[in-house]
Amino acid sequence: MSTAYPHVVSSVAVSLDGRIDDATPARLVLSGPEDLDRVDDVRAGVDAILVGAGTVRADDPRLLVRSAARRDARVARGLPETPLRVVLSRGGPLDPAARVFTGPPTLVLTTGAAPDVPAAVETVSDLPAALALLHERGVRRLLVEGGAAVHTAFLAAGLVDELHLAVAPLLVGSGPPFVHPAAFPADRWRLAGVDTVGDVAVLRLLRGPA
């Protein structure tokens, strides 16, 4: 019997040259308000939102559904206001005061030492084990929001079913890329749609042939 995993949606905003940030200390904002609202709508439609520990340290995200109307719609369907927040860690320290550990529940999945944080912590052996555990907990749709190391790991393992690539109309030059060098599956992705959202082009790609 095969192990059941959630449907994994990987979402990322990139520059025309594939960068997710620049080389300055300040965070580069690639998406405009319209695209941020689109991402909020995607968040409202999933069961869990996952980021890596590096993203928590660098950006201190809350990982919440921002729209009150979308939160209310989730509650009307018998769901919590915000999807389960998941932090993927390799065992390094995390700040207990990080915003992801306030408010709704957060689950930390670690392949190393358990961090001392106010959240549920589970030790997993690898990404497939992490996905299997999330499926056991009722997660059927998982949104992966980064960062680059996490996107690389999921894509290299062939665990992403759907990729949302928001391409901003600027060139960055020096900065971290969307993915790091890795041995990725050779399969071509299938373009399922392209939308213009503000000044951003959003490509929705599905894994595998039609």
Calpha distance 140→46 (Å, rounded): 8
Contacts of 91 (CB under 8 A, 6+ apart): 110, 111, 112, 113, 114, 115
C-alpha–C-alpha distance, residues 46 and 205, integer Å? 17
* Contact partners, residue 188, CB within 8 Å, separation at least 6: 209
Domain ranges within the chain, ordered by starting residue: 7-207
Residues of the chain with pLDDT under 70: 1, 209-210
Global pTM reads 0.95
Quote the pLDDT of residue 97.
97
Fold of 7-207: Dihydrofolate Reductase, subunit A (3.40.430)
User: What six digits make up the tokens of 6?
Assistant: 């959630």
**Segment (H or E) for 57:** helix 53-59
Nearest to 63 by CA among 162, 145, 137, 141: 145
CB atoms within 10 A of CB 209: 8
- Residue 25: per-residue pLDDT: 83
Identify the H or E element spanning 38.
helix 33-44
Sheet with 200-207: list strands edge to edge: 120-123, 106-110, 84-89, 48-52, 141-144, 7-14, 162-167, 200-207, 189-197
Q: How many CB atoms lie within 10 A of CB 3?
A: 10
User: What are φ and ψ of residue 65, in 5° steps?
Assistant: -80, 120
Q: How many residues does the chain have?
A: 210
Cβ count near 35 (within 10 Å) = 20
